[in-house]
């Protein structure tokens, strides 16, 4: 297996010879670097590296773009188009790939204290989105001590390479024009079309020049000038006193002339609005749009508080999916095949593959509307599917009710015997239908079916309450009756949560249909639906 191709001396010189290209960047020099880039040289990558570190906007958008893939989960999947009998072999391929990715190590040649795994590797590969290429030195680690085949990947700076022959080649020393060929088993090269840093550099040049002019304007005209006037002869005590006074009041933009005594303030005025802020804003938006697919909310608002245009979440999500696919395809093409070839022989087609998983975007508000529509029309929903859709874990059926902090564990409703010609809804659906009875889309037949199923259960649950009300009705003392009714009203919430009212759907029916007027309604209504009047 291959050993490291990069010497310690190469790394040392690479660090010591780095320059801050921003300090020396002029349109002419940047144009020269871009011309050299078109002919295969990557010296401009030193400027790009500095911009990603020091420019606030570029550092933010590039960092976010890379962090998006760094946070993604990954998995090893078995191919879905397998012939019969290959399932076991495909699982062996998957196990080999998973062991490789679980144990790989990732670092940077110029910053080896930075270490990580698949997440860091994905971020470094995505560097190709900006610079057209990303390159890793590939150091294999043979199986040992129960660990399978794995590798170490070291990200290398782009100015260590050149592309003057159609393929990337490594430059062993600075100053060389032509490099040496790179073995695909020793280097992981990722190439991307339309590098974003080229357009970013053009936008930055406009911003850079504009900001320099703006700073020069502020430096020159930010403070008013002073003109001291005196009738004293030059060199006299009076003249020297005026010079001292002007110097103390304003150091830079000041003068003394031989005329009548006095100090005038010289102010520079400009007609109209300065063009610098608007141009800087336009170029900043261009950089953000290049990398994020939409402007940041804080820049979209005229008030600067994010109340303007949206961040174009849909387009940003497409970028995440595209980046995940880009990283996945590079690793499938270059790494997966090499690992399978080591374990199962040269030329063996991988039956499993690595995949980076972009986050699944869901519209919760729309999902809730759809669920409500299903329930309102009496169409049942699976409880497990409901919990999974909203990323919630179902309570364990064996969990005691007192240990469930939020809500109550709802057992399955016992099947009810439907009447001829009426659909059997189930108690929980019947409750939801009646709670949405005001909705014009719920038919009268469906409401009647729901009431027919709820009435018997509701009658059984309210039997103790009816008995208590009968005792109160038999009281002759009006004061005692009123006090007893107040006690019923006060005890009603506890009654609804008693152990013998165990069905959460039934509790919802009582609360939703009867609510706070349960007691008054029972006293004023002669009977429940389908039941004779009580005395």
Q: Cα(183)–Cα(171) distance, rounded to whole angstroms? A: 14
Describe the crossing of helices 313-331 and 56-70 by its angle, rounded to 10 degrees: 60
3-state secondary structure of 107: strand
Going by C-beta distance under 8 Å and a sequence separation of 6 or more, which residues neighbour residue 108? 114, 124, 154, 155
pLDDT band per the 50, 70, 90 thresholds, residue 344: very high
Say what percent of the chain tops pLDDT 90: 37
More confident site: 219 or 115: 115
pLDDT band per the 50, 70, 90 thresholds, residue 311: very low
Q: Cα(350)–Cα(330) distance, rounded to whole angstroms? A: 14
Would you state the structure tokens that stand for residue 116, as one six-digit string? 């990580």
pLDDT band per the 50, 70, 90 thresholds, residue 530: very low
Q: Cα(2)–Cα(101) distance, rounded to whole angstroms? A: 19
Q: Considering only CA atoms, which of 446, 444, 461, 443 is closest in space to residue 505?
A: 461
* Residues 443, 516 contacting (CB under 8 angstroms): no
* Residues 183, 34 contacting (CB under 8 angstroms): no
Q: Is the pTM of the predicted complex or chain greater than 0.75?
A: no
Would you state the structure tokens that stand for residue 516, as one six-digit string? 């706070």
pLDDT band per the 50, 70, 90 thresholds, residue 441: low
* Residues 507, 416 contacting (CB under 8 angstroms): no
* Residues 105, 126 contacting (CB under 8 angstroms): no
pLDDT in tens, 355-401: 999 887 666 777 777 777 777 777 777 776 777 666 666 666 666 65
* Residues 43, 174 contacting (CB under 8 angstroms): no
**Sequential DSSP letters for 34-99:** HHHHHTTB-THHHHHHHHHHH-HHHHHHHHHHHHHHHT-EEEEEE-SSPPTT-HHHHHHHHHHHHH
Highest mean pLDDT, choosing among 39-48, 314-323, 453-462? 39-48
pLDDT in tens, 176-208: 899 999 999 999 999 999 899 999 999 998 888
Burial (0-12, 13-18, 19+ Cβ within 10 Å), 251: exposed
Q: Considering only CA atoms, which of 58, 256, 39, 309 is closest in space to residue 162?
A: 39
As beta bridge partners, residue 255 has 227
**Sequential DSSP letters for 323-368:** HHHHHHHHHIIIIIHHHHHHHH-TTPPPSEEEEEEPPPP--HHHHH
- Confidence (pLDDT) at 298: 44
* Residues 390, 364 contacting (CB under 8 angstroms): yes
pLDDT in tens, 45-67: 999 999 999 999 999 999 999 99
pLDDT band per the 50, 70, 90 thresholds, residue 522: very low
Specify the DSSP class assigned to residue 510: I
3-state secondary structure of 225: strand
Kindly tell me if the per-residue pLDDT of 418 is higher than 50: no
* Residues 122, 101 contacting (CB under 8 angstroms): no
pLDDT in tens, 12-30: 888 888 877 888 888 899 9
pLDDT in tens, 469-517: 888 888 888 888 888 888 877 777 666 555 444 455 555 555 554 443 4
């Amino acid at each position: 297996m291959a050993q490291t191709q990069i010497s310690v001396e190469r790394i040392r010189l690479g660090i010591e010879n780095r320059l801050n290209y921003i300090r020396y960047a002029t349109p002419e020099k940047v144009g020269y670097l871009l011309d050299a880039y078109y002919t295969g040289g990557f010296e401009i990558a030193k400027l790009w590296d500095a911009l990603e570190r020091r420019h606030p906007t570029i550092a933010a958008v590039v960092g976010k773009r890379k962090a998006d893939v760094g946070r993604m989960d990954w998995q090893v999947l078995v191919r879905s188009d397998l012939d019969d009998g290959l399932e076991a072999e495909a699982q062996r391929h998957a196990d080999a790939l998973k062991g490789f990715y679980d144990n790989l190590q990732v670092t940077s040649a110029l910053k080896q204290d930075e270490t990580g795994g698949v997440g860091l590797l994905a971020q470094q590969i995505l560097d190709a989105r900006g610079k057209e290429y990303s390159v890793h030195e590939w150091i294999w680690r043979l199986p040992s001590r129960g660990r399978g085949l794995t590798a170490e990947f070291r990200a290398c700076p782009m100015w260590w390479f050149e592309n003057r022959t159609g393929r990337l080649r490594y430059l062993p020393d600075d100053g060389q024009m032509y490099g040496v060929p790179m073995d695909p088993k020793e280097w992981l090269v990722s190439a991307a079309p339309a590098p974003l840093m080229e357009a970013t550099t053009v936008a930055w040049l406009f911003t850079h020049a504009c900001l320099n002019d703006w700073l020069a304007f502020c430096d020159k005209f930010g403070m008013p000038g002073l003109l001291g006037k005196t009738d004293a002869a030059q060199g006299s005590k009076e003249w020297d006193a005026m010079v001292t006074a002007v110097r103390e009041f304003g150091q830079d933009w000041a003068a003394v002339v031989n005329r009548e005594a006095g100090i005038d303030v010289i102010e520079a005025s400009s007609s109209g609005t300065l063009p610098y802020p608007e141009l800087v804003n336009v170029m900043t938006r261009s950089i953000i749009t290049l990398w994020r697919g939409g402007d940041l909310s804080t820049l979209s608002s005229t008030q600067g508080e994010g109340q303007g245009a949206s961040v174009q979440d849909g387009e940003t999500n497409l970028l995440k999916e595209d980046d995940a696919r880009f990283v996945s395809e590079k690793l499938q093409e270059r790494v997966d095949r090499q690992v399978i070839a080591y374990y199962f022989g040269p030329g063996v087609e991988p039956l499993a593959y690595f995949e980076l998983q972009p986050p699944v975007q869901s519209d919760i508000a729309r999902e809730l509307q759809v669920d409500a529509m299903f329930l309102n029309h009496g169409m049942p929903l699976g409880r497990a599917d409901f919990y999974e859709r909203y990323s919630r874990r179902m309570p364990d059926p064996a969990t005691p009710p007192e240990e469930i902090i939020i809500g109550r564990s709802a057992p399955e409703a016992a099947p009810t015997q439907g009447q001829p010609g009426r659909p059997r809804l189930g108690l929980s659906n019947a409750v939801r239908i009646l709670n949405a009875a005001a909705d014009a889309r719920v038919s009268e037949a469906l409401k009647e079916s729901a009431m027919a199923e709820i009435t018997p259960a509701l009658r059984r649950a309210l039997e103790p309450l009816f008995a208590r009300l009968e005792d109160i009705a038999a009281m002759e003392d009006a004061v005692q009756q009123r006090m007893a009714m107040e006690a019923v009203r006060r005890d009603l919430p506890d009654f609804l949560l008693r152990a013998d009212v165990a069905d959460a759907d039934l509790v919802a029916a009582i609360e939703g249909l009867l609510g706070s007027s349960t007691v008054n309604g029972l006293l004023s209504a002669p009977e429940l639906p389908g039941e004779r009047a009580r005395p």
